Structure 1
Amino acid sequence: MTHRILVIHGPNLNMLGRREPGIYGSQTLAGIDTDLAAAARTLDIEVTCRQSNAEGEIVGWIQEALDAFDGIVLNAGAYTHTSIAIHDAIRACGKPVIEVHLSNTAARESFRHVSHVSPVALGVIMGLGPLGYRLALQALAAHLDRGSS
């Protein structure tokens, strides 16, 4: 069975490659999505990547995952630290979620130390740049394979 994974990129991630490259690196979001598509082929999974700056749209996509996807890789960006709505959507959806951050949020400003996603996530990968997305995809695929055997 091929697993279907939704990758959600939150606010300002459309600015990757231009936004604070010292923190977020120089790779663009399109480059990350291309890498994820290649990784998905090697893992024999389907991946759909989406980006939004709108909290409500992200909540809608998480709700959609209930029927359309087997798991989610989520970089909620700044909404990680503010959105109870995203937290609640993940809980309601019941699908496994891997939280991803390009930077190590624990080593940054204190307001970035609290995540409303982490308590409802299967795992968290942070500080590894774009590699974190690929690792999250691998971890989620392995988790789903264990659940279906």
Structure 2
Amino acid sequence: MKKVLLINGPNLNMLGVREPGVYGTLSLEAIIQSLNKLAESLSIELACFQSNHEGEIIDQIHAAFGTKDGILMNPGAFTHYSYAIRDALSAVQLPTVEVHISNIHKREEFRHHSVTAPVVIGQICGFGAQSYELGLRALVSHM
């Protein structure tokens, strides 16, 4: 059975409360519950992690080396400036799909650039919570 690590970055623990007009009304727990059902149907073991701390996210990426087959990641705001997370993804060389609930390219200028995008196999954004499901399907197809 293939193993995938789902990583959610800063403020994603506040989904359902934080700017529902942008991020929707589903909680992170609800998204994970739905994603777990999809993972089961795809015969994927899904491990889930969320942190507001860059170093903890890097530690999880490092720990995935040799133990996971791929990473599904919503880096949150770290998307736009965390070269440390980018370098961790590059170091472990695991297939990774970057997902975003909102269309980052239609938002504020600073959100248009992803420093992590060059080291992932693809980016899915703008489909709400469904971005996660599309991302998991894409990752599994690639693996």
Normalising to structure 2: TM-score of the pair?
Answer: 0.99
Q: Distance in 1 between matches of 2:139 and 2:125?
A: 15
**CA drift at 1:48:** 0.7
RMSD: 0.5
Q: Who is 1:53 aligned against?
A: 52
Q: What amino acid is aligned across from residue 13 of structure 2 in structure 1?
A: N
Q: What amino acid is aligned across from residue 41 of structure 1 in structure 2?
A: E
Percent identity (aligned): 50
**CA drift at 1:110:** 0.4
Q: Who is 1:86 aligned against?
A: 85
1:25-70, Cα deviation, whole Å (9 max, x unpaired): 0000000110111001110110011100000000111111112100
Q: Distance in 1 between matches of 2:15 and 2:30?
A: 10
Q: Distance in 2 between matches of 1:33 and 1:9?
A: 10
1:38 aligns with 2:30: no
Runs of 4+ deviating beyond 2 Å: none
Tell me how many residue pairs correspond in the alignment. Answer: 143
- Structure 2: unaligned runs, 5 residues or longer: none
* 1:96-135 equivalence runs, <5 A: 96-135=95-134
Normalising to structure 1: TM-score of the pair?
Answer: 0.95
Q: Distance in 1 between matches of 2:128 and 2:92?
A: 27
- Structure 1: unaligned runs, 5 residues or longer: 145-149
Task: State the SS of the aligned residue for 2:73.
Answer: strand
**CA drift at 1:109:** 0.3
